[in-house]
Structure 1
């Protein structure tokens, strides 16, 4: 089980089971939402419990995706593909060690010009 919260604690999450390996997304939308690139892990919705759900606000960034954040402190929480049965949780939400490591970088064709990716992980253009 893995626990986490937003910056102010108004939204808390619990994920049952082990976490898969997260990825780092360098797309323009993730960079604008987070202030840098986004690191997240995809978990089945059935494994995710949210306390303080009344503080989660959703921004529909496309027909296929909505992005969740805390309405109190503004913390980035979720990337949610509305037509799938999983939700991506921002890695910064988790309290304590996650037992994971980044697996790859995605949308590197859109990455910012102010940093280099030099960790040796796979890089997908899309």
Structure 2
């Protein structure tokens, strides 16, 4: 079991089972939403339990995606593709060790010009 929360603790969550490898997304939307690139892990919804859901606010960033954040502290928490059966969870929101590592970088064609990616992981342009 993996546990996490927002900065103020109004929203907490648990994920049962092992976490798959997360991706680091460098797209413009993720960078604007998180303040840098966003690392998140895709978890089947039936393995995710959220407490304090009344504090989760959703921003519909496209036709197919909404982004969840805490309405009290503003913490980035979720990336939710509304037509799928999984939700991505921001890696920085986990309170317990995740026992996983990044798999790859995606949308590197949109990355910021103020940093380099030099960890040797695969880099997808889109």
Would you say same fold, with TM above 0.5?
yes
Could you say which TM-score interval applies, normalised by the shorter chain?
over 0.9
Partner of 1:81: 81
Deviation of 1:97 after TM superposition, in Å, equals 1.1
- Structure 1, unaligned runs of 5 or more: none
Pair 1:35 & 2:35 matched? yes
- 1:18-69: CA deviations, max 9, x gaps? 0000010000000000100000000000000000000000000000000000
CA distance in 1, matches of 2:94, 2:114: 27
Q: How many residues matched?
A: 126
CA distance in 1, matches of 2:57, 2:63: 17
SS at match of 1:18: coil
- Structure 2, unaligned runs of 5 or more: none
Partner of 1:24: 24
Partner of 1:113: 113
CA distance in 1, matches of 2:84, 2:34: 23
CA distance in 1, matches of 2:52, 2:92: 18
Alpha-carbon RMSD across the aligned residues, in angstroms, is 0.4
Deviation of 1:96 after TM superposition, in Å, equals 2.4
CA distance in 2, matches of 1:17, 1:40: 16
SS at match of 1:83: coil
TM-score, normalised via structure 1 length: 0.99
TM-score, normalised via structure 2 length: 0.99
